[in-house]
Amino acid sequence: MNKFTRKLVLLLAVLLTAGTLAGCGRTKVTLENYPTTVVATLGDTKIYLDEANYQARYNQYTSELYYNMYGYDLSDMWDTDIGTGSTLEEYTKKNVMSAIYQTYVLKAKADELGLALDEEETAKVAETVKSTMENMDEALKETTAITEERLTEILTNNALAMKAYEYAVKDVDTEVGDEEAAQRKISYILVKDGEDAAAAETLAEELKGRAEAGEDMSALADEHDNCTYSQATYGAGDYDNTLGNFGRTLATGEFGSVYDEGYGWYVVYCDSDFDQEATEKEKPVIVEQRKGELFQSAYAEWLKDMPKFKVDEDVWSEITFDKTLFVVPETTSGEEETTSAAGEETTTTAE
The size of the chain, in residues, is 351
Residue in 274, 283, 277 with CA at minimum distance from that of residue 173: 283
d(CA 240, CA 243): 8
206/212 Cα distance (integer angstroms)? 10
From 1-10, 80-89, 97-106, 139-148, the region with the lowest mean pLDDT:
1-10
Confidence of residue 20 (pLDDT cuts 50, 70, 90): very low
Q: Do the beta carbons of residue 110 and residue 160 sit within 8 Å?
A: yes
Do residues 273 and 186 make contact, with C-beta atoms less than 8 angstroms apart?
no
Please report the pLDDT score of residue 6 as a whole number: 40
pLDDT digits (tens, 9 = 90+) for 247-296: 999 999 999 999 999 999 999 999 999 999 999 999 999 999 999 999 99
pLDDT at 31 over 50: yes
Q: What is the pLDDT of residues 166-185, one digit of tens each?
A: 999 999 999 999 999 999 99
Amino acid letter for position 186: I
Q: CB neighbours (10 Å) of residue 29?
A: 17
73 or 1, greater pLDDT: 73
Q: What is the DSSP letter of 333?
A: G
Dihedral (Cα; 169, 170, 173, 176), 10-degree rounding: 80
Asked if residue 84 has pLDDT above 90, the reply is no
Residue 260 CB partners (closer than 8 Å, separation 6+): 241, 242, 243, 266
Stretch 123-142: mean pLDDT: 96
pLDDT at residue number 85:
86
Alpha helices in 193-275 (DSSP H): 197-212, 217-222, 242-247
Q: What does DSSP assign to residue 308?
A: P
Number of other residues whose CB lies within 10 A of the CB of residue 262 = 6
pTM: 0.77
Largest CA distance in the chain: 83
pLDDT level of residue 346 (50, 70, 90 thresholds): very low
| Complete DSSP assignment for 82-109 | -SSSSBHHHHHHHHHHHHHHHHHHHHHH
Q: Which residue has the higher pLDDT, 342 or 218?
A: 218
